[in-house]
Protein backbone atom coordinates (compact mmCIF):
# COMPACT_ATOMS: atom_id res chain seq x y z
CA UNK A 1 0.00 0.00 0.00
CA UNK A 2 1.10 3.59 -0.60
CA UNK A 3 1.76 5.47 2.62
CA UNK A 4 0.82 9.15 2.47
CA UNK A 5 0.30 11.99 4.92
CA UNK A 6 -3.38 11.97 4.03
CA UNK A 7 -3.65 8.27 4.89
CA UNK A 8 -1.97 8.91 8.27
CA UNK A 9 -4.36 11.78 8.89
CA UNK A 10 -7.39 9.61 8.18
CA UNK A 11 -6.13 6.78 10.38
CA UNK A 12 -5.27 9.25 13.15
CA UNK A 13 -8.88 10.44 13.21
CA UNK A 14 -10.17 6.88 13.54
CA UNK A 15 -7.65 5.88 16.21
CA UNK A 16 -8.10 9.13 18.12
CA UNK A 17 -11.82 8.40 18.34
CA UNK A 18 -11.46 4.69 19.14
CA UNK A 19 -8.69 4.88 21.74
CA UNK A 20 -8.37 8.46 23.00
CA UNK A 21 -11.95 9.79 22.99
CA UNK A 22 -10.90 12.44 20.45
CA UNK A 23 -8.76 14.16 23.08
CA UNK A 24 -5.83 14.83 20.76
CA UNK A 25 -5.85 17.77 18.35
CA UNK A 26 -4.85 17.00 14.79
CA UNK A 27 -1.07 17.31 14.32
CA UNK A 28 0.99 17.65 11.16
CA UNK A 29 1.89 14.43 9.35
CA UNK A 30 4.86 13.43 7.24
CA UNK A 31 6.11 10.27 5.55
CA UNK A 32 9.85 9.65 5.76
CA UNK A 33 12.30 7.09 4.40
CA UNK A 34 14.03 6.48 7.73
CA UNK A 35 15.64 3.10 8.28
CA UNK A 36 16.15 3.31 12.06
CA UNK A 37 12.80 4.75 13.18
CA UNK A 38 9.41 3.43 12.14
CA UNK A 39 7.76 6.49 13.68
CA UNK A 40 8.61 9.76 15.38
CA UNK A 41 6.69 12.34 17.40
CA UNK A 42 7.93 15.88 17.87
CA UNK A 43 6.68 19.18 19.27
CA UNK A 44 8.00 22.60 20.22
CA UNK A 45 8.16 23.82 23.79
CA UNK A 46 7.45 27.54 24.00
CA UNK A 47 6.86 30.05 26.77
CA UNK A 48 4.16 32.70 26.74
CA UNK A 49 5.78 35.99 27.68
CA UNK A 50 9.02 36.48 29.54
CA UNK A 51 7.70 35.06 32.81
CA UNK A 52 4.96 32.86 31.35
CA UNK A 53 4.63 29.11 31.64
CA UNK A 54 6.04 26.76 29.06
CA UNK A 55 3.63 24.80 26.87
CA UNK A 56 3.92 22.36 23.97
CA UNK A 57 2.84 23.24 20.46
CA UNK A 58 3.52 22.45 16.77
CA UNK A 59 2.84 18.73 17.11
CA UNK A 60 4.06 16.47 14.31
CA UNK A 61 3.99 12.72 13.65
CA UNK A 62 6.24 11.03 11.09
CA UNK A 63 6.04 7.43 9.87
CA UNK A 64 8.64 5.72 7.70
CA UNK A 65 7.72 4.06 4.42
CA UNK A 66 11.13 2.41 4.02
CA UNK A 67 9.78 -0.92 5.28
CA UNK A 68 6.68 -2.61 3.97
CA UNK A 69 4.07 -2.71 6.73
CA UNK A 70 0.54 -4.02 6.90
CA UNK A 71 -2.30 -1.64 7.74
CA UNK A 72 -2.40 -3.11 11.25
CA UNK A 73 1.32 -2.51 11.76
CA UNK A 74 1.02 1.08 10.55
CA UNK A 75 -1.80 1.64 13.03
CA UNK A 76 0.33 0.25 15.87
CA UNK A 77 3.23 2.51 14.85
CA UNK A 78 0.87 5.47 14.73
CA UNK A 79 -0.58 4.59 18.14
CA UNK A 80 2.92 4.37 19.59
CA UNK A 81 3.54 7.97 18.54
CA UNK A 82 0.06 9.02 19.70
CA UNK A 83 0.94 7.90 23.23
CA UNK A 84 3.94 10.26 23.15
CA UNK A 85 1.56 12.90 21.80
CA UNK A 86 -0.92 12.32 24.64
CA UNK A 87 1.76 12.76 27.30
CA UNK A 88 3.04 15.96 25.68
CA UNK A 89 -0.45 17.35 25.11
CA UNK A 90 -1.35 16.83 28.77
CA UNK A 91 1.86 18.64 29.72
CA UNK A 92 3.04 15.63 31.73
CA UNK A 93 6.59 14.58 32.47
CA UNK A 94 7.38 10.87 32.15
CA UNK A 95 10.14 9.06 34.03
CA UNK A 96 11.96 8.39 30.74
CA UNK A 97 11.33 8.32 26.98
CA UNK A 98 9.24 5.17 27.48
CA UNK A 99 8.66 5.50 31.19
CA UNK A 100 5.79 4.72 33.53
CA UNK A 101 3.22 6.97 31.83
CA UNK A 102 4.03 5.59 28.38
CA UNK A 103 3.91 1.98 29.56
CA UNK A 104 0.60 2.53 31.35
CA UNK A 105 -1.03 3.80 28.14
CA UNK A 106 0.67 1.13 26.05
CA UNK A 107 -0.66 -1.62 28.32
CA UNK A 108 -4.14 -0.10 28.20
CA UNK A 109 -4.19 -0.16 24.40
CA UNK A 110 -2.72 -3.64 24.22
CA UNK A 111 -5.49 -4.92 26.49
CA UNK A 112 -7.84 -3.57 23.83
CA UNK A 113 -6.24 -5.80 21.20
CA UNK A 114 -3.30 -3.72 19.95
CA UNK A 115 0.33 -4.91 19.68
CA UNK A 116 2.35 -1.84 20.63
CA UNK A 117 5.94 -2.25 21.76
CA UNK A 118 8.43 0.04 23.49
CA UNK A 119 10.54 0.35 20.36
CA UNK A 120 9.58 0.22 16.70
CA UNK A 121 11.87 -2.81 16.28
CA UNK A 122 12.95 -2.08 12.73
CA UNK A 123 15.01 -5.29 12.82
CA UNK A 124 11.84 -7.31 12.24
CA UNK A 125 11.45 -5.58 8.86
CA UNK A 126 15.09 -5.66 7.83
CA UNK A 127 14.55 -8.27 5.10
CA UNK A 128 11.57 -6.53 3.54
CA UNK A 129 12.32 -2.96 2.43
CA UNK A 130 9.65 -1.39 0.26
CA UNK A 131 11.51 -1.91 -3.00
CA UNK A 132 11.42 -5.68 -2.45
CA UNK A 133 8.41 -7.98 -2.48
CA UNK A 134 7.30 -8.92 1.03
CA UNK A 135 6.89 -12.57 1.96
CA UNK A 136 3.78 -13.73 3.79
CA UNK A 137 3.16 -16.80 5.92
CA UNK A 138 -0.21 -17.96 4.62
CA UNK A 139 -2.69 -20.38 6.17
CA UNK A 140 -5.25 -21.78 3.73
CA UNK A 141 -8.38 -23.38 5.19
CA UNK A 142 -10.97 -25.63 3.56
CA UNK A 143 -14.34 -25.99 5.29
CA UNK A 144 -16.35 -29.19 5.38
CA UNK A 145 -19.17 -27.27 3.72
CA UNK A 146 -16.97 -26.33 0.75
CA UNK A 147 -16.09 -22.85 2.03
CA UNK A 148 -12.58 -21.47 1.58
CA UNK A 149 -10.57 -19.12 3.80
CA UNK A 150 -7.17 -17.45 3.75
CA UNK A 151 -5.15 -15.90 6.55
CA UNK A 152 -1.75 -14.23 6.80
CA UNK A 153 -0.25 -15.26 10.14
CA UNK A 154 2.50 -13.56 12.10
CA UNK A 155 5.44 -16.05 11.89
CA UNK A 156 5.96 -16.00 15.67
CA UNK A 157 2.39 -17.25 16.17
CA UNK A 158 2.38 -20.15 13.72
CA UNK A 159 2.58 -22.84 16.41
CA UNK A 160 -0.07 -21.11 18.50
CA UNK A 161 -2.48 -20.95 15.54
CA UNK A 162 -1.67 -24.56 14.64
CA UNK A 163 -2.74 -25.64 18.14
CA UNK A 164 -6.07 -23.86 17.65
CA UNK A 165 -6.98 -25.76 14.48
CA UNK A 166 -8.22 -28.95 16.23
CA UNK A 167 -10.69 -26.72 18.11
CA UNK A 168 -12.38 -25.85 14.80
CA UNK A 169 -14.10 -29.09 13.65
CA UNK A 170 -15.68 -27.29 10.71
CA UNK A 171 -12.23 -27.15 9.06
CA UNK A 172 -11.62 -30.18 6.86
CA UNK A 173 -8.08 -29.36 5.67
CA UNK A 174 -5.44 -26.70 6.01
CA UNK A 175 -2.20 -25.78 4.27
CA UNK A 176 0.74 -23.59 5.30
CA UNK A 177 2.92 -21.90 2.69
CA UNK A 178 5.04 -18.81 2.15
CA UNK A 179 4.09 -16.46 -0.68
CA UNK A 180 5.31 -13.15 -2.08
CA UNK A 181 2.13 -12.74 -4.15
CA UNK A 182 0.94 -9.12 -3.93
CA UNK A 183 -2.59 -10.51 -3.44
CA UNK A 184 -1.73 -10.96 0.26
CA UNK A 185 -0.43 -7.42 0.78
CA UNK A 186 -3.87 -6.23 1.87
CA UNK A 187 -4.11 -8.88 4.61
CA UNK A 188 -3.28 -7.96 8.20
CA UNK A 189 -1.02 -10.36 10.06
CA UNK A 190 -3.08 -12.25 12.62
CA UNK A 191 -1.98 -13.83 15.88
CA UNK A 192 -4.96 -16.15 16.36
CA UNK A 193 -7.19 -18.37 14.22
CA UNK A 194 -8.87 -15.72 12.08
CA UNK A 195 -9.27 -15.79 8.31
CA UNK A 196 -10.89 -14.09 5.33
CA UNK A 197 -13.57 -15.99 3.39
CA UNK A 198 -12.95 -16.08 -0.36
CA UNK A 199 -14.32 -17.84 -3.41
CA UNK A 200 -13.09 -21.28 -4.46
CA UNK A 201 -11.86 -19.81 -7.77
CA UNK A 202 -9.59 -17.31 -6.03
CA UNK A 203 -8.51 -19.94 -3.50
CA UNK A 204 -7.43 -22.39 -6.21
CA UNK A 205 -5.53 -19.61 -7.97
CA UNK A 206 -3.40 -18.39 -5.06
CA UNK A 207 -3.02 -21.42 -2.77
CA UNK A 208 0.18 -23.47 -3.04
CA UNK A 209 -0.49 -26.95 -1.61
CA UNK A 210 2.93 -28.30 -2.59
CA UNK A 211 4.89 -26.63 0.22
Report mean pLDDT in 10-residue bins for the chain, 211 residues.
90 96 96 85 77 78 86 92 94 88 93 82 42 77 94 90 91 90 86 92 81 54
- Domain holding 191, by residue range, is 136-206
- Sort strands 148-153 and 136-143 into parallel, antiparallel or unpaired: antiparallel
Mark whether 104 and 161 lie in a shared domain: no
Mark whether 113 and 188 lie in a shared domain: no
- Report pLDDT for 133: 58
Residue 40, domain member (yes or no): yes
Residue 29, domain member (yes or no): yes
- Report pLDDT for 172: 92
Mark whether 119 and 153 lie in a shared domain: no
Mark whether 105 and 141 lie in a shared domain: no
Mark whether 23 and 115 lie in a shared domain: yes
Mark whether 84 and 119 lie in a shared domain: yes
Residue 86, domain member (yes or no): yes
pTM of the predicted protein model? 0.58
Mark whether 74 and 145 lie in a shared domain: no
Q: In CATH, what number is assigned to the domain containing residue 91?
A: 3.30.2010
Of 125, 154, 186, the one marking the end of a domain is 125
Of 125, 159, 191, the one marking the end of a domain is 125
List, in order, residues 6 or more apart from 60 with CB less than 8 Å away. 27, 28, 29, 30, 41, 42, 43
- Report pLDDT for 123: 38
Cα distance between residue 138 and residue 177, in whole Å: 5
C-alpha torsion 90→91→95→97, nearest 10: 80
Domain count, the chain: 2
Residue 211, domain member (yes or no): no
Of 125, 154, 179, the one marking the end of a domain is 125
- Report pLDDT for 209: 61
- Report pLDDT for 70: 84
Mark whether 22 and 112 lie in a shared domain: yes
- Report pLDDT for 128: 42
Mark whether 9 and 111 lie in a shared domain: yes
Amino acid sequence: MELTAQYLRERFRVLNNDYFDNELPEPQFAVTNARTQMGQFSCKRVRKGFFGKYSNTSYKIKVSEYYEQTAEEIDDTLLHEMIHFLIAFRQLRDTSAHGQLFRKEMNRLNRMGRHITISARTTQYVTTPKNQRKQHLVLALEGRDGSRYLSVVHPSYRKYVERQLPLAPQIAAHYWFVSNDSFFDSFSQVRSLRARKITKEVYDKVVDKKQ
